[in-house]
Amino acid sequence: MRRGVCSFVLMAIGIAAVACMEGGSRRSIASAGEPPASNAEVKIDNFSFGPPTVTVAAGTTVTWTNRDDIPHTVVSDDKAFKSKVMDTDEKFSFTFAKPGTYSYFCSVHPKMTGKVVVQ
Cis bond upstream, residue 51 (ω within 30): yes
Give tens-digit pLDDT for 14-48: 433 333 333 443 333 333 344 455 899 999 999 99
Please tell me the predicted confidence (pLDDT) of residue 80. 95
Phi-psi region of 81 (alpha: psi -120 to 50; beta: other; left: phi over 0): beta
Q: Which residues pair with 104 in a beta bridge?
A: 76, 114
Give the sheet arrangement for strand 5-10, strand by strand: 5-10, 16-22, 25-32
| pLDDT one-digit tens code per residue, 100-114 | 999 999 999 999 999
Q: What DSSP state is assigned to residue 44?
A: E
pLDDT at residue 117 is higher than 90: yes
pLDDT computed for residue 37 by the predictor:
54
Pick the CATH number of 39-118 from 3.10.180.10, 1.10.10.10, 3.40.50.2300, 2.60.40.420: 2.60.40.420
pLDDT at 66: 98
Kindly give, in sequence order, each residue whose CB lies less than 8 Å from that of residue 31, ignoring residues fewer than 6 positions away.
15, 16, 17
- Return the domain boundaries, the chain: 1-36, 39-118
With the C-alpha atoms ordered 64, 68, 71, 72, is the resulting torsion angle positive or negative? negative
* Widest CA span in the chain: 72
Residue 114: per-residue pLDDT? 98
Which pLDDT tens digit goes with each residue over 69-95?
A: 999 999 999 999 999 999 999 999 999
Rounded-to-integer distance, Cα 67 and Cα 109, Å: 15
The pTM of the full predicted model, rounded to 2 decimals, is 0.70
| Integer Cα distance of 34 and 50 in angstroms | 29
